[in-house]
Chain A
Amino acid sequence: MLEQILNAALNGILLGGVLALLAFGLNLIFGVVKIIHMAYGQFVMLGLYLIYALTMQLHLPLVLSASIAVFAMAILGLLTQLLVIGPLLGAPRLNQLLALAGLIIVFENLAMVIWGADYRGIPLYLPILKIANFYIRGSCLFAFLGALITLGLLYLFLNKTYIGLAIRATAQDTEIVKLMGVNPRSVYFITLAAGGALTGIVAAFFTPIYTVHPHFGSSFTIMAFIIVVLGGMGNLLGGFIGAFIIGVVTSVSAVLTTTEVADIIALVIFILVMLVRPQGLLGTRGI
């Protein structure tokens, strides 16, 4: 039994890595543009479909389809900023939220029209690895390592480049950053493009794990949102820690109970944290 729990915790950590990457984009967009990207999970869904279509229908090599998907999702992010978020920047928060929620319907039905309601997936069979007495799905380990590398590159991008610095500064003060010679509108475009590209990368790592259907995205938007709020909105380190907490908790409680109850336990823990620390684990700034 103990071994089973440890094994589940290990799988939870692997899941946490991917969730951290998923939540990162949502968190970054919130931190910089101060907007909750309601259709974030739907971006991942479209990414998965795109990789599926390019690989299975156009017979492109998987790596090429994944790269195209990352690029296409970045473009979709830019378009979202141009057509939806940009025009609503000065608008009341509710309008922004509703407009982005509207995108959920657009994307889900678009997927429905093009690919139908069937579950679609690329038959990829990565081996199950046995390390010591633990069993690990190769696809999950691959996704975990990929997510960590991506997060590492993002860290370097944010901390070692001028654009990254401008993004961090804009997150703190949108007005003063203009006096530094930064155009916040450009920063918003870069942020949305980066967030979009991230959903493409997440989709690439999800491809060997999940099959996709038009409503695939919503649970991941919620999951990412919970992680972001748990860690403290806009706090990237908090989101990283929150992802591992949610990953381990859901994974371990799934072994002890069932998958459905596991979600309940994770959400109860989330609610408890919110009661004690409404600003999230590492949240400092008021919203």
Chain B
Amino acid sequence: MLKIEGIGAAYGEFRVLHEISLEVRSGETAIAVGPNGAGKTTLLKVISGLLKPSSGIIYFDGERIDDREPHEIVGLGISLVPERGRLFPYLSVLDNLKIGSFSKKARKDFRKALDETFGLFPILKDRKKQLAGSLSGGERQMLAIARSLMSRPKLVMLDEPSSGLAPKIISRVFEFVRNIKSQGYSILMVEQNARKALELADRAYILESGKLQFHGGKEDFIRNPYIKKAYLGI
């Protein structure tokens, strides 16, 4: 479904990603873990088109997308849940969901998608008239995930969904991700919380200083002594 080959990216002269290759198959959940500043967020920015890669190729459903604009990439079925949600704070909850369905195909499905979303996140229905900026941290993350689903994506990318949340809320957020996974969405999630993320993963990558250090299935991950020590704390 998503295939990345040899991606490099830079902010000006500063190179952030080197030769990254990874893959997310249909219906699969892939995670990329790594410390702060490893380039995880940059990786998602490159896939979503916000940052143009300096080298490499990205395929989505067999189509090359690395030269596409972000608003076109959303239309193709890739949506990004940015770190800390990045909601539109002065728009109501409902308007945040509505803008999520802006792309042409999603707009037609707005009503249906809205019903599904409210089914998945009933609290958002109660708060639909409230300004998004007035929600609690957990609710914001929920709304950010719900907003990304409104675009009718095939692949949902999550950037540190646990960032800035209390431990109890983090468990709930991962519950939502599990829920989305069970609905058949393909997921690419980057996380610092490797242990939690690994529970959901079919495939995992480790990113350190902009380079891919390791990739494999969940089992390979749990068995690897270095990963056990550095990321899982066992």
Query: CA A169 – CA B103 in complex, angstroms?
Result: 14
Q: Is B71 an interface residue (CB 8 A)?
A: yes
Query: CA A179 – CA B158 in complex, angstroms?
Result: 13
Q: Which stretch of A122-130, A180-188, A271-279 is in the interface?
A: A180-188
Distance in angstroms from B193 CB to nearest chain A CB is: 23
In chain B, positions 97-123 with a C-beta closer than 8 Å to chain A are 98-100, 102-104, 106-107
Distance in angstroms from B108 CB to nearest chain A CB is: 12
Distance in angstroms from B75 CB to nearest chain A CB is: 6
Q: Is A259 an interface residue (CB 8 A)?
A: no
Q: Is B86 an interface residue (CB 8 A)?
A: yes
| Residues of A close to B162: CB separation below 8 A | none
In chain A, positions 143-202 with a C-beta closer than 8 Å to chain B are 162, 165-166, 168-169, 172-173, 175-183
| Residues of B close to A165: CB separation below 8 A | 91, 95, 98-99, 102
Query: CA A168 – CA B90 in complex, angstroms?
Result: 9
Given known contacts A165-B95, A169-B91, A172-B91, is B74 in contact with A180 (CB within 8 Å)? yes
Query: CA A165 – CA B88 in complex, angstroms?
Result: 11
Given known contacts A179-B50, A182-B99, is B71 in contact with A172 (CB within 8 Å)? no
| Residues of A close to B88: CB separation below 8 A | 168-169, 172-173, 176-177
Given known contacts A165-B95, A180-B151, A183-B71, is B50 in contact with A175 (CB within 8 Å)? yes
**CB <8 Å contact, A177 and B69:** no
Given known contacts A165-B98, A166-B102, is B70 in contact with A179 (CB within 8 Å)? yes
**CB <8 Å contact, B106 and A181:** yes
| Residues of B close to A176: CB separation below 8 A | 82, 86, 88
Q: Is B29 an interface residue (CB 8 A)?
A: no
**CB <8 Å contact, B102 and A182:** yes
| Residues of A close to B48: CB separation below 8 A | 179
| Residues of A close to B50: CB separation below 8 A | 175, 178-179
Query: CA A209 – CA B104 in complex, angstroms?
Result: 45
Query: CA A54 – CA B82 in complex, angstroms?
Result: 52
Distance in angstroms from A167 CB to nearest chain B CB is: 11
CB nearest to B98 among chain A residues: A165
Query: CA A67 – CA B16 in complex, angstroms?
Result: 54
Distance in angstroms from B41 CB to nearest chain A CB is: 12
**CB <8 Å contact, B86 and A181:** no
Query: CA A117 – CA B95 in complex, angstroms?
Result: 50
Q: Is B184 an interface residue (CB 8 A)?
A: no
Chain B residues engaging chain A, CB cutoff 8 angstroms: 48-50, 69-71, 74-75, 79-80, 82, 86, 88-91, 95, 98-100, 102-104, 106-107, 147-148, 151
17 examples of A-B residue contacts, CB within 8 angstroms: A162-B102, A166-B102, A168-B90, A169-B99, A172-B90, A173-B86, A176-B82, A176-B86, A178-B50, A178-B69, A179-B50, A179-B80, A180-B74, A180-B99, A181-B71, A181-B151, A183-B69
Chain A residues engaging chain B, CB cutoff 8 angstroms: 162, 165-166, 168-169, 172-173, 175-183
